[in-house]
Amino acid sequence: MLRQARRRAVKAGWENVILIHADAVLLDPAAVRATIQGQGGSGTSDAALATYSLSLMPEWRKAWANLTELLRDDARVAVVDMQEPVGWARLLTPLARAACALGGADMAAHPWQAVEGDCTGVIRDSARAGHLQIRAGTLRGPA
């Protein structure tokens, strides 16, 4: 994924993109900031997107905390992840559970709730009969 992202950034001429290979739960935000600053960056980012990733991490809250430490106080963040289908699609719940289990995702994690708790101006949406949950907002600065 990093190779593909690097090729895309180079092809598009994006000079403000720094890619890091790290475990989001175990990384040290201060060390990452220092690395980014050493490459000419500010050490913080304007935005972050987590798509179908946080529910794969048993300690997703720690990954979220590490991620938000690398963002400006007014950064835009978005999370897309999964939950059990709702409404008529509840009939598909066993299939959704099996697919998520095969991929290692925890449909009960609900990591988009971090956006709801830590952001202002939250935009809420869902797709696929509620199975996909989408949240985006502006990170609140320190109180």
Q: What average pLDDT does range 109-137 have in this prediction?
A: 94
pLDDT, the chain, mean: 89
Please report the beta strands in the chain, taking only residues with DSSP state E, as ranges in sequence order.
45-51, 71-82, 119-127, 132-139
- Give the three-state DSSP class for 42: coil
The pLDDT assigned to 142 comes to: 61
Give the separation between CA 76 and CA 92, rounded to whole angstroms. Answer: 33
Q: Using 50, 70 and 90 to split pLDDT, how confident is the model at 30?
A: very high
Q: What average pLDDT does range 97-102 have in this prediction?
A: 83
Please state, for a pLDDT cut of 90, what percent of the chain lies above it: 52
Set out the domains of the chain in order of their start, with CATH numbers. Answer: 2-139 (3.40.50.150)
Q: Is the pLDDT of residue 140 over 90?
A: no
Q: Using 50, 70 and 90 to split pLDDT, how confident is the model at 143?
A: low
Of the candidates 70, 77, 66, 74, the one whose C-alpha atom is nearest the C-alpha of residue 113 is: 77
- Torsion angle, CA of 113/115/116/117, rounded to 10 degrees? 90
Give the separation between CA 75 and CA 131, rounded to whole angstroms. Answer: 26
pLDDT in tens, 63-96: 999 999 999 989 999 999 988 888 888 888 888 8
Give the separation between CA 39 and CA 19, rounded to whole angstroms. Answer: 11
The pLDDT assigned to 128 comes to: 86
The pLDDT assigned to 137 comes to: 97
Give the separation between CA 33 and CA 44, rounded to whole angstroms. Answer: 7
Q: Is the pLDDT of residue 40 over 60?
A: yes
Rounded to 5 degrees, φ, ψ at 49 are: -135, 130
Please state, for a pLDDT cut of 70, what percent of the chain lies above it: 98
